[in-house]
Structure 1
Amino acid sequence: MEAIQRKVKAVFYALALTILFIASGCRQEKEPQARIWEPYNDSLEVAGNQDHPVERMRYKLIQSKILDKNDVFLPLYEEVKTFSREEYLRLKPMVFEQPIAAIQKHIKAGDLSYEELTLFYLYRIYTYELDNETTLNTILALNPSCLQEAQEKDRLAAREPDASRHPIFGMPILLKDNINTAGMPTTAGAIALKDNTTGDSFIAERLRSNGAIILGKVNLSEWAYFMCRGCPVGYSAVGGQTLNPYGRRIFESGGSSSGSGTAIAANYAVAAVGTETSGSILSPSSQNSVVGIKPTIGFLSRSGIVPISSTLDTPGPMTRNVADAGILLDAMKGRDAADAKSVETGMSGMWYQPEQKGLQGKRLGVFKGLLERDSLYREQVERIRQAGSEIIPFDPPEVNLDGFITLLNIDMKHDLPMYLKNQIRDRDAVRVSSVADVVAFNREDSLLRVPYGQALLEGIVVDSTNMDELEGIRMQLEENGRRYFDTPWEEHQLDAVLSVNNYHAGYAAVAKYPALTVPMGYRDDGEPTNMTFIAKPFEEDKLLDLGHAYEQLGPMRRPPAGYTE
């Protein structure tokens, strides 16, 4: 029955688009990027991955069985259709791969408008995401009023050309689809939340108040990858399988903020916001050659974000360069009375603009084991040494993270019901109120709703750890995480520790230490890899300085070859 309904809907859309083409006359020849999306048979692609050396990349499906992309793309279709390729190519040098500062400079000079900027990104999204050979399955929703908002930014800028505004003003931003955003569903990738409507999260409010344009929502690992064991990263029942633009079906997209990483790599927006419990920003940033910041817990509010763990969760920026990450971080910060961990950072002024203090004289700890087995890490560490830093190799103390899964289990068992109680607006659309309800809902149609199982969700339901035991686990994990870093830190008086990708994300998570990951190059097979800087709590400004200085040794990043046209 569902297949018949989808076929009828596709015929209806085709008829509607035929009418639009007739009405637009000869303009049709200029808009190859605007097309109806047609579901396809992904069985050959699925079969082609069955011998993939990474077992969890042996996909069961790629295309979503739930999301009809025409529901996402048709509301803005007419506006994008009238944006010609000639206009796109005129704007491309001013926007593609460009930092926020350069884009704002072009806008101030009158060479580019906020509306044109938004159309530029929509054009790219429509061009690549409506083509089944290039789609990354990354866009779950688009803001239907984004162009009107951009037009209003242009009017405001014309009325007050010299006004002091935040650099994020007028910049199109994508949000991971576990972050509440008014006007678009917040699904966490789960069918149980497919029609979840909410107001804005605290960070979405901050973005809007600073003038950002929320362009849309992006795919993620369902329930932020705390659902199944050994399942693909970047998969959700709502969005299907997120794919990596550097190698579709070849390289993992990283998780759980897979859509945020792939979208920014493919230049679908100025920047994106991800979330991390342990590695969920660092991993997809590294896999997609973008910059990601996992801030100190409390630096950014978590209110209005579908939770795993109130102990460890945090949102964070994902961008193509370090300065933009600082700008986005600054645009979201602020104390939130509804989040008990939220604090004022005490940072003021333009601190998010790296001061270019450089790497000279910095004492940076590096892992001996990584130096021995990772040639790219070793090569980049040597470049940092030549830039004037003192490199101190060390072996970290042996510590365990026993109880980590228990911490997540009990936090989610308590935190998710609070979200469902306080954030859901339509009780008829979302009928689950606990993790146990989600598990039961998924069992009603496990083939559609949880094709890879839900072992982690089931583990939450049966975990009987009490709150006193949980507090002991929290304290022990934080103590172990800090000892892992602090032992070499204090012995060698380090400024930061250098890691690779999300290799030490778990230790940084339980220690509550912030981390910044920056592209450092590509493996021999083309897979992206990042250098990750780890610092003490609330030293985000130090991380930005170090990351920016390292970035200047490059260029380290290049856009994915199939997404440069």
Structure 2
Amino acid sequence: MKKHILLILVILLSACKSEQESKKVEVILWIPYNDSIEVAANNNHENGRMQYKLIQSKVLDKNEVFAPLYDEVSKLTESEYQKLIPLVLEQDIFTIRNHIKEDRLTYENLVLFYLYRIYKYELNNATTLNTVIALNKDVVEQARELDKQNQMGVATQIQHPIFGMPILLKDNINTLGMKTTAGSIALMDNEVDDSFIVQQLKKNGALILGKVNLSEWAYFLCSGCPVGYSAYGGQTLNPYGRRIFETGGSSSGSGTAVSANYAVAAVGTETSGSILSPSSQNSVVGLKPTIGLLSRSGIVPISSTLDTPGPMTKNVKDNAILLSAMLGYDKLDSASVEDNYPGILSAGIHPKVFSEIKLGAIKDLMETDSIYKETVQNLKEAGATIIEFTPPEVSMDGFLSILNIDMRNDLKTYLKEYANPDVIKVTSIEDAVAFNNADSLVRIPYGQALFEGILTDSTTTIELEQIKNNLEKNGRSFFDAAINAYNLDAVISINNYHAGYAAVAKYPALTVPMGYKPSGEPISLTFIGKQFSEASLLQIGKAYEEKFPNRIIPSDYQN
């Protein structure tokens, strides 16, 4: 690799255990560094959650992640990489597919392009985002196989648009050939088969590039701790300002990786804000679907009531493509719906006419956020009908108990059904708490207050059902009061500001880059609609994105 990109030491070790044993070559691509200066520099950060205790992982050796594909990546020269930049960087899926169709690009070079960027930035301690924590060692060969199929004339018109596109997955999504850790040392050897949505992606031809970091246990472990931190993967950093801006959580790696162009797209998961938050913080498009639209089988859970995976992409078009590639009825998920709700795939390329769009703007946000206020005015001038309203005050009492009791039960079920008991010794929250306490400095440097809260929550089954029913009703009334009264297509919010209400309502939410604060921190506009209105939200989001193309690639990750 290039001297200015990587520090590479090739050490030849002569093995002498037997005459048959040949020389072993170990490629050292990365050397752990002392992050104490960086940690100290954040001691006085105005955001208490960004006063870090550490940045790099104490357990993950990046050499184990990156060495297996080093020979493949090193074959791509810097000049060849530079020639690929205009073909791939920030390009949407249909554009990339067209380059492949017209022989300007191959699937192999597409994969190598993203791998090159990952190696270039993630192995440099001055630019690493601590985002990629696993790679599919077979991905280059899988791409070559797709190129062979292309040469043999496999009909492209029968392919899903996701075919051949390299995708990264949040590391709580079960994936064959890569461990699924949820960011926890307790699951660092968790080898599993593909989750349902990964099966769907592979069936549609997607290439699984690797796994990305997350807020440990989907940010349901510690209280007041940094988002984007996991004991397994370390502290994920924001490409728009490393150690300056939060990454958002818990799908932190998915947001940062897409923003830095480490893959065509990524999959995140959300219980309440975990797709919307990192998408907004990293200026990418994120969709939290209606509960049940996508399967949750084979995903490390918080709550079977509220959890859902969802697509995170650089644009609305790709978001619709990735969402549609994961659709399908899953008999193992009690919330799964049999209807795939047609129109999702085409929604990303068919923007709704502004004159036909009716949106509800929240008065409080109009008064407190100038970027939101300006955006509302721009939408009006573009022809959209905007109704300003004040949502009703509704109780969110009991929300934490849903997470507590569901995770107590759902994690136990996941570990029983997916984890290998010979390797994974934790079988419950109680076990996980005890495991963490055995080495608290390494395993829980920020504590585990939320895990401990799970153990002390005494909510009964009957009480929990009442809480769920009340919150679903309250969440829906928060939005429906205006949606029903004015026949609105959606309510518009900021980032993940109203994610909790959308979560308990089980409503979908789409967030699209809205601009940047004076500090340079990204901010996004979030569209929230009724159940299974994903196609409509995508059409509205596409119209907004097309008229107001706000996303700007992070300045330090443009080359």
State the match for 1:120 in structure 2.
113
User: What's the offset of the Cα at 1:346?
Assistant: 4.1
In the TM superposition, what are the counterparts of 1:241-256 in structure 2 within 5 Å?
A: 241-256=235-250
1:531 to 494, 513, 525: 525
User: What's the offset of the Cα at 1:161?
Assistant: 4.3
- Are 2:510 and 1:550 aligned? no
User: What's the offset of the Cα at 1:438?
Assistant: 0.1
Amino acid at match of 1:549: A
- Are 2:100 and 1:104 aligned? no
In the TM superposition, what are the counterparts of 1:169-184 in structure 2 within 5 Å?
A: 169-184=163-178
In structure 2, C-alpha distance between the alignment counterparts of 1:319 and 1:216, rounded to whole Å = 16
State the match for 2:363 in structure 1.
368
Amino acid at match of 1:419: Y
In the TM superposition, what are the counterparts of 1:305-316 in structure 2 within 5 Å?
A: 305-316=299-310
CA contact (8 A) 1:293 1:318 kept: yes
In structure 2, C-alpha distance between the alignment counterparts of 1:219 and 1:381, rounded to whole Å = 35
Give SS of 1:247's match: coil
State the match for 1:89 in structure 2.
82
Residues 1:456 and 1:247: Cα distance change in structure 2 (over 3 Å): same
- How many corresponding residue pairs? 540
CA RMSD of aligned residues (A): 1.6
State the match for 2:34 in structure 1.
41
CA contact (8 A) 2:194 2:298 kept: yes
User: What's the offset of the Cα at 1:434?
Assistant: 0.2
In structure 2, C-alpha distance between the alignment counterparts of 1:246 and 1:359, rounded to whole Å = 31
- Are 2:211 and 1:214 aligned? no
- Are 2:140 and 1:132 aligned? no
User: What's the offset of the Cα at 1:553?
Assistant: 1.5
In structure 2, C-alpha distance between the alignment counterparts of 1:463 and 1:492, rounded to whole Å = 41
CA contact (8 A) 2:271 2:307 kept: yes
In structure 2, C-alpha distance between the alignment counterparts of 1:555 and 1:352, rounded to whole Å = 17
Residues 1:298 and 1:132: Cα distance change in structure 2 (over 3 Å): same
- Are 2:408 and 1:416 aligned? no
CA contact (8 A) 2:197 2:295 kept: yes
State the match for 1:286 in structure 2.
280
Listed one character per residue, the Cα deviations across residues 317-337 of structure 1 (whole Å, up to 9, x for unaligned) are: 000000100000000000000
State the match for 1:15 in structure 2.
11
Give SS of 2:143's match: helix
In the TM superposition, what are the counterparts of 1:132-281 in structure 2 within 5 Å?
A: 132-163=125-156, 164-281=158-275
Residues 1:221 and 1:372: Cα distance change in structure 2 (over 3 Å): same
In structure 1, C-alpha distance between the alignment counterparts of 2:353 and 2:239, rounded to whole Å = 32
**Residue ranges of structure 2 left out of the alignment (5+ in a row):** 1-6, 15-26
- Are 2:430 and 1:436 aligned? yes
In structure 2, C-alpha distance between the alignment counterparts of 1:230 and 1:185, rounded to whole Å = 28
1:448 to 421, 442, 449: 442
User: What's the offset of the Cα at 1:35?
Assistant: 6.7
In structure 1, C-alpha distance between the alignment counterparts of 2:352 and 2:8, rounded to whole Å = 59
Amino acid at match of 2:258: I
In the TM superposition, what are the counterparts of 1:317-356 in structure 2 within 5 Å?
A: 317-348=311-342, 350-356=345-351
CA contact (8 A) 1:168 1:331 kept: yes
State the match for 1:502 in structure 2.
496
Listed one character per residue, the Cα deviations across residues 534-560 of structure 1 (whole Å, up to 9, x for unaligned) are: 011001000000000000122200000
In structure 2, C-alpha distance between the alignment counterparts of 1:529 and 1:220, rounded to whole Å = 20
Amino acid at match of 1:126: Y
CA contact (8 A) 2:319 2:348 kept: no
Give SS of 2:403's match: helix
State the match for 2:17 in structure 1.
none
CA contact (8 A) 1:35 1:130 kept: no
Q: Which moved more, 1:121-130 or 1:75-84?
A: 75-84
User: What's the offset of the Cα at 1:17?
Assistant: 10
Give SS of 2:459's match: coil
Give SS of 2:11's match: helix
Amino acid at match of 2:496: N
Give SS of 2:263's match: coil
In structure 2, C-alpha distance between the alignment counterparts of 1:197 and 1:69, rounded to whole Å = 18
**Residue ranges of structure 1 left out of the alignment (5+ in a row):** 1-10, 19-33
Amino acid at match of 1:422: E
Residues 1:17 and 1:175: Cα distance change in structure 2 (over 3 Å): farther
Amino acid at match of 2:466: G
In structure 1, C-alpha distance between the alignment counterparts of 2:327 and 2:234, rounded to whole Å = 32
CA contact (8 A) 2:248 2:278 kept: yes
In structure 2, C-alpha distance between the alignment counterparts of 1:342 and 1:159, rounded to whole Å = 37
State the match for 2:505 in structure 1.
511
In structure 1, C-alpha distance between the alignment counterparts of 2:355 and 2:479, rounded to whole Å = 22
In structure 1, C-alpha distance between the alignment counterparts of 2:139 and 2:86, rounded to whole Å = 22
- The TM-score with structure 1 as length reference comes to 0.94
User: What's the offset of the Cα at 1:14?
Assistant: 4.2
Residues 1:83 and 1:470: Cα distance change in structure 2 (over 3 Å): same
State the match for 1:29 in structure 2.
none
In structure 2, C-alpha distance between the alignment counterparts of 1:14 and 1:438, rounded to whole Å = 39
Listed one character per residue, the Cα deviations across residues 114-157 of structure 1 (whole Å, up to 9, x for unaligned) are: 00000000000000000000000001100000001101111112
State the match for 2:24 in structure 1.
none
In structure 2, C-alpha distance between the alignment counterparts of 1:106 and 1:413, rounded to whole Å = 49
Amino acid at match of 1:162: A
Give SS of 2:538's match: helix
User: What's the offset of the Cα at 1:158?
Assistant: 1.7
Amino acid at match of 1:364: L
1:76 to 66, 69, 72: 69
Give SS of 2:349's match: coil
Amino acid at match of 1:433: T
- Are 2:478 and 1:484 aligned? yes
In structure 2, C-alpha distance between the alignment counterparts of 1:17 and 1:361, rounded to whole Å = 69
Give SS of 1:336's match: coil
CA contact (8 A) 1:307 1:416 kept: yes
CA contact (8 A) 2:8 2:30 kept: no
Listed one character per residue, the Cα deviations across residues 145-174 of structure 1 (whole Å, up to 9, x for unaligned) are: 000110111111221243420000000000
In structure 1, C-alpha distance between the alignment counterparts of 2:481 and 2:525, rounded to whole Å = 21
Amino acid at match of 1:146: V
Residues 1:145 and 1:505: Cα distance change in structure 2 (over 3 Å): same
- What percentage of residue pairs aligned between the two structures are identical? 62
CA contact (8 A) 2:8 2:29 kept: no
Listed one character per residue, the Cα deviations across residues 449-490 of structure 1 (whole Å, up to 9, x for unaligned) are: 000000000111121212111100100110110111111112
CA contact (8 A) 1:176 1:219 kept: yes
In structure 1, C-alpha distance between the alignment counterparts of 2:12 and 2:288, rounded to whole Å = 44
User: What's the offset of the Cα at 1:211?
Assistant: 0.2
User: What's the offset of the Cα at 1:359?
Assistant: 1.8
CA contact (8 A) 1:17 1:36 kept: no
- The TM-score with structure 2 as length reference comes to 0.95
Listed one character per residue, the Cα deviations across residues 386-405 of structure 1 (whole Å, up to 9, x for unaligned) are: 11111100000011210000
